[in-house]
């Protein structure tokens, strides 16, 4: 057994290839580590993430086996830690894909290789377009890769901070072109992740930067996540941004673990109810409807406006118009589209099929 560095240790077990014995030993190690350690009179609970990899073939494979064990260990960590994962070829494939994407993102951050698409937000009372959400796209040749394909990785690697800067700079340019052609009161929402909010630059950039002039028309979307509930710094940054005129929207509401006290303190303007609750209300029986209604109720109690996300079909639209929900967003109204299609006028290319 040896220490590789930092908080990483390696244990070499004799034996041939994969056996259930290595799993038993790893479980015993985890079990022992869970015993509380006393430090200055307080019990400290430790957990570990363990990756298992077998040495196959020649001695030159040492580097490879350590790399494989490392990949398995990271898989155990990202599954929540305090567990064991065995290396598999699939893990290696995913690591290669992730590392390629990471390099592609790094190049795109250096070269400004991102664009914004906009997805219309519709007022459910009269089906008019009242705003849009800005969604980042990675330019890959002629393809615009949607955010869902790279944002999670960018959050893990910290690259989201660089991407976020490009997003805000692009938004400043776009919004200057959009405002003159949009109806009064038109607003745009933009996603900011916890890592971006932790960037010490963000307040200066938003409060003193080019977007400040239209702060009133911008909602900053933050996810209803644990970070929001537990980090005082994030709360004070959001407060400063709100004082700078920006509005706050809670994104994906219904998927996190709400800290109602914090939500109230944040004074959001808008709750965006996650698509999963909309789908649940359509597909489940009474309980799905009750959950969606409860989420709307929380927003209403805090005197916030409510938006239903991911309204994909007419059936979804019917579900959300049965409740006191102000806005809808989703494929049923319009797909995310480049700036040019918005500049063609509100609702352009955007048949609001709702009746």
- Binding region for ligand C2E (CB under 6 A): 119, 135-136, 146-148, 151, 160, 164, 167, 191-193, 221, 251-252, 275, 309-312, 330-331, 336
The Cα 320–Cα 225 span in angstroms is: 24
- Could you say which of ligand C2E, Mg ion, none residue 159 binds, taking C-beta under 5 to 8 angstroms by partner kind? none
- Could you say which of ligand C2E, Mg ion, none residue 330 binds, taking C-beta under 5 to 8 angstroms by partner kind? ligand C2E
Which one, 9 or 331, has the nearer CB to ligand C2E?
331
Q: How far is CA 3 from the centre of its chain?
A: 34
- Could you say which of Mg ion, ligand C2E, none residue 171 binds, taking C-beta under 5 to 8 angstroms by partner kind? none
Q: State in angstroms the smallest separation of the CB of 215 from ligand C2E.
A: 17
- Could you say which of Mg ion, ligand C2E, none residue 120 binds, taking C-beta under 5 to 8 angstroms by partner kind? none
- Could you say which of ligand C2E, Mg ion, none residue 312 binds, taking C-beta under 5 to 8 angstroms by partner kind? ligand C2E
Beta strands in the chain (DSSP E): 2-5, 8-10, 37-39, 42-44, 49-52, 83-86, 114-123, 129-140, 143-146, 187-191, 218-223, 247-253, 270-273, 305-308, 327-328, 337-338
The Cα 149–Cα 137 span in angstroms is: 9
By CB under 5 A, what part of segment 153-192 binds Mg ion? 191
Count of positions on this chain that bind Mg ion (CB under 5 A): 5
- Could you say which of ligand C2E, Mg ion, none residue 124 binds, taking C-beta under 5 to 8 angstroms by partner kind? none
DSSP state of 40: T
Contact by Cβ (8 Å): 51, 74: yes
By CB under 5 A, what part of segment 245-304 binds Mg ion? 251-252
- Residue 221 near Mg ion by CB under 5 A: yes
Binding map of Mg ion across residues 300-339, x = CB under 5 A, - = no contact: ---------x------------------------------
- Residue 224 near Mg ion by CB under 5 A: no
Q: State in angstroms the smallest separation of the CB of 168 from ligand C2E.
A: 9
Q: State in angstroms the smallest separation of the CB of 182 from ligand C2E.
A: 20
**Element spanning 262, H or E:** helix 260-266
Q: Which residues contact 136 (CB under 8 A, 6 or more apart)?
A: 114, 115, 116, 147, 151, 163, 166, 167, 191
Length of the chain: 355
Per CB under 5 A, the segment of 58-66, 146-154, 218-226, 339-347 that binds Mg ion is 218-226
Q: State in angstroms the smallest separation of the CB of 157 from ligand C2E.
A: 13
- Residue 223 near Mg ion by CB under 5 A: no
Which residues on adjacent β-strands are paired with residue 119? 133
Contact by Cβ (8 Å): 133, 121: yes
Which one, 22 or 252, has the nearer CB to ligand C2E?
252
Which one, 64 or 169, has the nearer CB to ligand C2E?
169
Which one, 309 or 350, has the nearer CB to ligand C2E?
309
The Cα 28–Cα 34 span in angstroms is: 10
Q: State in angstroms the smallest separation of the CB of 136 from ligand C2E.
A: 3
Please work out, in degrees rounded to the nearest 5, the angle formed at the alpha carbon of residue 89 by the alpha carbons of 84 and 90.
80
How many CB atoms neighbour CB 206 within 10 A?
A: 22
The Cα 328–Cα 317 span in angstroms is: 8
Contact by Cβ (8 Å): 270, 249: yes
Both tokens of 69, joined, read 């064990």
Largest Cα–Cα distance in the chain?
73
Contacts with Mg ion, residue ranges (CB under 5 A): 191, 221, 251-252, 309
């Amino acid at each position: 057994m040896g220490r590789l560095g930092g908080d990483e240790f390696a244990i070499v077990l004799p034996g041939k290839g994969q056996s259930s014995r290595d799993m038993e030993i790893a479980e015993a190690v985890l079990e022992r580590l869970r015993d509380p350690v006393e430090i200055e009179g307080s019990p400290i609970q430790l957990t570990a993430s363990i990756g298992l990899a077998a040495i196959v073939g020649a001695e030159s494979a040492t580097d490879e086996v350590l790399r494989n064990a490392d990949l398995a260990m990271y898989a155990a960590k990202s599954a929540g830690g305090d567990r064991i994962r065995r290396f598999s070829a699939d893990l290696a494939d995913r690591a290669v894909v992730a590392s390629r994407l990471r390099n592609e993102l790094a190049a795109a951050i250096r070269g400004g290789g991102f664009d914004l698409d906009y997805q219309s937000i519709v007022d459910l009372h009269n089906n008019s377009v009242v705003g849009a959400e800005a969604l980042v796209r990675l330019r890959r040749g002629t393809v615009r890769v949607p955010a869902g394909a790279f944002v999670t990785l960018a959050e893990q690697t910290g690259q989201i901070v660089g991407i976020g800067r490009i997003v805000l700079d692009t938004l400043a340019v776009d919004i200057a072109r959009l405002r003159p052609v949009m109806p009064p009161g038109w607003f745009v929402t933009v996603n900011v992740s916890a890592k971006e909010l932790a960037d010490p630059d963000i307040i200066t950039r938003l409060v003193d930067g080019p977007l400040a002039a239209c702060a009133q028309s911008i909602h900053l979307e933050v996810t209803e996540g644990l970070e929001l509930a537990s980090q005082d710094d994030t709360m004070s940054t959001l407060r400063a941004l709100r004082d700078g005129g920006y509005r706050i929207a809670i994104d994906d509401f219904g998927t996190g673990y709400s800290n109602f006290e914090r939500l109230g303190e944040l004074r959001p303007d808008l709750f965006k109810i996650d698509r999963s609750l909309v789908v649940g209300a359509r597909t489940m029986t009474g309980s799905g409807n009750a959950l969606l209604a409860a989420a709307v109720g929380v927003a209403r109690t805090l005197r916030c406006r409510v938006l239903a996300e991911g309204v994909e079909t007419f059936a979804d639209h019917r579900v959300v118009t049965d409740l006191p929900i102000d806005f809808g967003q989703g494929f049923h109204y319009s797909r995310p589209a480049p700036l040019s299609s918005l500049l063609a006028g509100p609702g352009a290319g955007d048949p609001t099929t709702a009746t």
